[in-house]
Amino acid sequence: MDIHEYQAKELLAKQGIRLPRGGLAYSPEQAAYRASEIGGEFWVVKAQIHSGARGKAGGIILCKSEKEVEDAAEKLLGARLVTHQTGERGKMVGRLYIEETVQIDREIYLGFVLDRKEERIMIVASGQGGMEIEEISEKEPDSIVRQVVDPGVGMLDFQARELAFGLGLDGALIGKAVQAIMGCYRVFRDYDASMLEINPLVVSHDEIYALDCKMSFDENALFRRPEISELRDKSQEDPRETFASDRGLSYVGLEGNIGCIINGAGLAMATLDMIKIAGGEPANFLDIGGGASPERVAKSFRAVLQDKKVEVVLVNIFAGINRCDWVAEGVAKALDEVGVPVPLVVRLSGTKVEEGRRILAEKAPSVIVADTLKDAAEKAVAAWKSGKSASEAA
Ligand code: GDP
Ligand code: MN
């Protein structure tokens, strides 16, 4: 789960990290008022969306008067900002963060991530801030310094000092950088973050400020971090994924037209591959999990059909813990209660498969039955193609 920059900065502030003074605004009037509250002569108006690279997309506007702040707010609020991280639909700007400007003497990149291979928190820093980390690792790979945290002892001051030296800082800045880095580490650890990125962390008049902050959290740990769950902003999420996750389904939205309802993440991945090989494009990844009841199957249909781009639904079940008869009941229930306005391909295999097939034949005769994974993918793609040519002919 992602949070906004201003929310991440509130967490950093509690750990004593220096930040430009700022305030939140939901309207142009409020934005101008915030600027007057902050005082000074220059402000940055920052679009709060769940994405980085806002600057290049026009989401960060430098202003020289309260009037300019108001105009910038007018322009940004309600607009959809398309960055290279949002996809073409972009993200709606509903909130702005107004900040005092800070003179930038040096820009530093500082990132905390979970290194899955090392199974440890890794800190990545570079003296070439301002650029994105992908760009830094391409153009200035030698500028990158790293530290890996031993989970048994946690991050130690000397590791932060090594980073500070590696960044070429000296004098009083070393101690200040160590404080900032250790503060970030505590925020990362204490809230079960999965990513914390400060880009840029800047040196300004012998002080160190976090000018930007991006943070994501491990969704599996949110149950024990209610203060983080509260920061969720559903308006920034894919509505298809929000609908599914609110119902306890594991769903990832994709760009194609073949909706998928599958049990098991591995089988789901294999099915997506097979659809592609057969010449189609999956609309989603959906794992119904083990022991899925007919109700859960019907719910999955609701989630998949939320996506108006779906032109075919493919159900692929290899039942071990699951039961094909329950899945078949679920399919019948979905046809009855949800309504499935597109061709439906079902492949059942494993536990209670005979009963499952019988139920389908009896209660869901419109279903296209498939035998194997390959057969299912090909039938789904064929159904999609014939639907397309029918609509083109019409
Ligand atoms: P991002 O594009 O989403 O990463 O947003 P940032 O908050 O990092 O802002 C983009 C860029 O705007 C930064 O890299 C800075 O170069 C610039 N910027 C942001 N705040 C300030 C500021 O207070 N003073 C100055 N001079 N530049 C700023
Ligand atoms: Mn940034």
DSSP symbols for 253-320:
E-SSSEEEEESSHHHHHHHHHHHHHTT--BSEEEE--SS--HHHHHHHHHHHHTSTT--EEEEEEEES
Determine the pLDDT at residue 377. 97
pLDDT digits (tens, 9 = 90+) for 289-310: 888 899 999 999 999 999 999 9
Of the listed 5, 6, 97, 109, which one is catalytic? 109
Quote the ligand 1 centre to 78 CA distance (angstroms).
Answer: 21
User: Is 93 touching ligand 1 by the criterion CB < 6 Å?
Assistant: no
Region 5-30: mean pLDDT is 98
For ligand 1, atom 8, the nearest C-alpha belongs to 212
For ligand 1, atom 9, the nearest C-alpha belongs to 55
User: Is 338 touching ligand 1 by the criterion CB < 6 Å?
Assistant: no
The whole-angstrom separation of Cα 186 and Cα 17 is 11
CATH for the 21-101 domain, from 3.40.50.1820, 3.90.45.10, 3.30.1490.20, 2.40.340.10: 3.30.1490.20
User: Is 85 touching ligand 1 by the criterion CB < 6 Å?
Assistant: no
CATH superfamily of 238-393: Succinyl-CoA synthetase domains (3.40.50.261)
pLDDT digits (tens, 9 = 90+) for 28-60: 999 999 999 999 999 999 999 999 999 999 999
For ligand 1, atom 6, the nearest C-alpha belongs to 212
DSSP symbols for 199-240:
EEEEEETTEEEE---EEEE-GGGGGG-HHHHTT--GGGS-HH
Among 190, 210, 194, 193, which residue's Cα sits nearest to residue 202? Answer: 210
List the structure tokens of 225.
Answer: 């971090």
Relative to the CA of 199, which ligand 1 atom is closest? Answer: 8
**Ligand-binding site membership of 354 (annotated):** no
Taking 70 as the threshold, does the pLDDT of residue 258 lie above it?
Answer: yes
Relative to the CA of 212, which ligand 1 atom is closest? Answer: 7
Of the listed 70, 197, 241, 378, which one is catalytic? 197
Q: Which residues surround ligand 2, an ion (CB under 5 A)?
A: 199, 212
Region 75-90: mean pLDDT is 92
Determine the pLDDT at residue 393. 62
Percent of the chain with pLDDT over 90: 85
Q: For the chain, what are the domain ranges? A: 1-19+104-236, 21-101, 238-393
User: Is 58 touching ligand 1 by the criterion CB < 6 Å?
Assistant: no
Quote the ligand 1 centre to 53 CA distance (angstroms).
Answer: 10
> 156-179 burial, b for 16+ CB within 10 Å, e for fewer?
eeebbbbbbebbebeeebbebbbb
The whole-angstrom separation of Cα 315 and Cα 318 is 10
Cα end-to-end span (Å), the chain: 43
For ligand 1, atom 12, the nearest C-alpha belongs to 55
Taking 80 as the threshold, does the pLDDT of residue 333 lie above it?
Answer: yes
111 alpha carbon, closest ligand? 2
Determine the pLDDT at residue 89. 83
**Ligand-binding site membership of 212 (annotated):** yes
Q: Which helix (H) or strand (E) holds 389?
A: helix 373-393
User: Is 28 touching ligand 1 by the criterion CB < 6 Å?
Assistant: no
The CATH fold of domain 1-19+104-236: D-amino Acid Aminotransferase; Chain A, domain 1 (3.30.470)
Q: How confident is the prediction for the chain on average, in pLDDT?
A: 94
The whole-angstrom separation of Cα 261 and Cα 259 is 7
**Ligand-binding site membership of 99 (annotated):** yes
User: Is 104 touching ligand 1 by the criterion CB < 6 Å?
Assistant: yes
Percent of the chain with pLDDT over 70: 99
Q: What is the DSSP letter of 177?
A: H
Spatial neighbors of 170 by CB under 8 A, at least 6 apart, are none
User: Is 52 touching ligand 1 by the criterion CB < 6 Å?
Assistant: yes
Residue 109: active-site member: yes
Residue 5: active-site member: no
Taking 90 as the threshold, does the pLDDT of residue 128 lie above it?
Answer: no
User: Is 280 touching ligand 1 by the criterion CB < 6 Å?
Assistant: no
Most ligand 1 atoms within 8 A of CB, residue of 38, 60, 62, 198 to mutate: 60
List the structure tokens of 38.
Answer: 């902050």
Determine the pLDDT at residue 390. 72
